[in-house]
Structure 1
């Protein structure tokens, strides 16, 4: 079992601004920051969302005491960002739109992601904050086919790749825009974290897309799965990498892939769940679609377009840079998959006898 190493600094009690605090990564970031003693300010889109953050902290077993505050600021508008940045020493920008269903147009996803990132960077720069750590995605790295299927931080997804989902395109264009902004202004540093599929304990009321896969498997909603291989990383390790990137001098101007180990298929994930949760065996996927079947089904089922675009290939995704530069040590992916399922059972989101 991986023991997460503490990230310490003389600036530990400086105020950290977190965007996207109601999401999976954001909620764990807040819990980690508050638990480590940071003054933490969280942006919310509208008043009333504070309760979601407080519920997540309670589930994480963290008492915010006097270390948590909120600011109202929306990625789609300029108002509130100057106030949100006031007195802040560090920024973790996690927020980005993630459509539950395919958007009507690409711009519905691309524009909020790109313009929101630029708003955060501009407001941070105007406030004199030295560095922004931005959550991008492996979607911006490895969704254009390479002959050897090996991917590192040097790789970029071509936004014009045929069949590329709008969300993936939004991550590419938002990250590109952020780098262009940082390179055009020499007085602010940018560091980017590119996680693969993020799994792990759920703190909020709604599962993320990745966590929802495990939930759907455990509840019998996925009797068959498409052939699809992808990287897995624990949300707690994603947060740890962000904090290392926030503080380490060598992280400035760099991007870091967050992946816990070799790629796994959805069917392989189902095998892990069957081994560790035998009572749920009858509910778990029992068959895997071939890539030909996936491509045919994707013509009428948008949810399968991602799997169709990957084409059944097995990406080899490197985390060597995060390990060697920042000393990052992720958990084994089996531990992460089991922790994901455990949290779903504990929250009562799957059958009680699954464990």
Structure 2
């Protein structure tokens, strides 16, 4: 029987998702051991979780680096479950793709192997729909958990490769241990939702830029979105739910273009959305600008391509409907405004 006082290792606890997973676990009574690459951030993380309503008396920290072997056995010792949320995420891809790929793959290998060695009953790994939807030449059907990104396919970015190769590494290790039932993978869409600190990170930066009027036109990038609170709940549910054991689960709402995100902001945020763009950038112009703008170039794989995902999988895991993209967008904007980040 699961005891709510059981300890859960949460890697990358200072991240957007890691913080929300820790918050969800603490709210349910679990003890959380959060990993940090920089231990000087511990007080800030504790404070942000306390401000969000968590009882942080059951929160401790440990140092871990995705690229270093030391500390993993100590971090997982005594943990009944492992939540591996740590992975590098950027909007602009690095010149050397291995700057993303190596820590993602190495960190996942270390987390899964250390968790299995320590006897963790379930290891939940954060992957992405990027490990499912990339590199295909046709998108004529609904993408499911059976689909995998073709890492050598067209327009596959370093981030997409990093998530795909890291998830494949997790499954390979679990199979080698004969322990696939002890692994569960969550594949979320683009995460929005309330911030836990004053750093917008990468997830909320597009909403921030829209509200600040920094994007006069919007390219027709079509992405799937999901509220981070649903993704964190999916992670916690996957620790114990038999329906998650040995499976990957897509957790996202449908894909919509950026211009619809802008419309949600104007509909929901009133005067605060006065600077939100109203014009769609022609795709020929987006392709031309992408020759000089690296962040736009890295998003070209989502230009004019409407992918369909198994949006029912996340609802089935949680046993309820997901929060809407509209609510996730508003929560992001409200959070940015409350923290005076726009």
If the length of structure 2 is used for normalisation, what is the TM-score?
0.95
Partner of 1:353: none
Do 2:137 and 2:154's aligned partners in 1 also have CA atoms closer than 8 Å? no
User: What aligned pairs does 1:175-324 form with structure 2 within 5 A after superposition?
Assistant: 175-187=167-179, 189-259=182-252, 261-324=253-316
CA distance in 2, matches of 1:123, 1:273: 43
Quote the residue 1:54 is aligned against: 46
Secondary structure at 1:132 match in 2: strand
Provide the residue aligned with 2:129 in structure 1: 138
How big is the alpha-carbon RMSD for the aligned residues of Structure 1 and Structure 2?
1.6
Structure 1: distance between partners of 2:125 and 2:320: 17
Greater Cα offset, 30-39 or 84-93: 30-39
Task: Judge conservation of contact 2:83–2:123 (CA < 8 Å) in 1.
Answer: yes
> Aligned with 1:146: secondary structure?
coil
- The number of residue pairs the alignment matches comes to 340
Quick one: distance in 2 between partners of 1:145 and 1:54? 45
**CA distance change for structure 1 residues 43 and 156 in 2, over 3 Å: closer, same or farther?**
same
Q: Which runs of 5+ in 1 are unaligned?
A: 1-8, 351-355
Asked if the contact 1:163/1:305 (under 8 Å) is kept, the reply is no
Check if 1:30 corresponds to 2:47: no
Moved over 4 A (4+): none
Return the alpha-carbon distance in structure 1 between the equivalents of residues 317 and 44 of structure 2: 35
Instruction: Calculate the TM-score normalised by the size of structure 1.
Output: 0.92
Tell me by how many angstroms 1:63 deviates: 2.8
Residue 328 of structure 1: how far off its partner (Å): 4.6
Residue from 108, 123, 147 that aligns with 1:117: 108
Select 2:163's aligned residue among 160, 168, 171. 171
Inter-partner Cα distance in structure 2 for 1:112 and 1:325: 29
Structure 2 unmatched runs, 5+:
none
Choose which of 89, 93, 116 in structure 2 pairs with 1:98: 89
Secondary structure in 2 aligned to 1:330? coil
Deviation at 1:283, TM superposition (A): 0.7
Task: For residue 279 of structure 1, report the CA deviation from its aligned partner.
Answer: 0.8
Q: Is the 8 A contact 2:21 2:232 kept in 1?
A: yes
Distance 1:300 1:320 in 2: 39
Aligned to 1:345: 337
Q: Is the 8 A contact 1:72 1:80 kept in 2?
A: yes
**Conservation of the 8 A alpha-carbon contact between 1:248 and 1:326:** no
1:100 deviates by 5.2
The alpha carbon displacement at 1:247 in A equals: 0.8
Distance in 1 between residues matched to 2:32 and 2:86, nearest whole Å: 16
Indicate if the aligned counterparts of 2:73 and 2:118 stay in contact, CA closer than 8 A: yes
Instruction: Name 1:329's counterpart in structure 2.
Output: 321
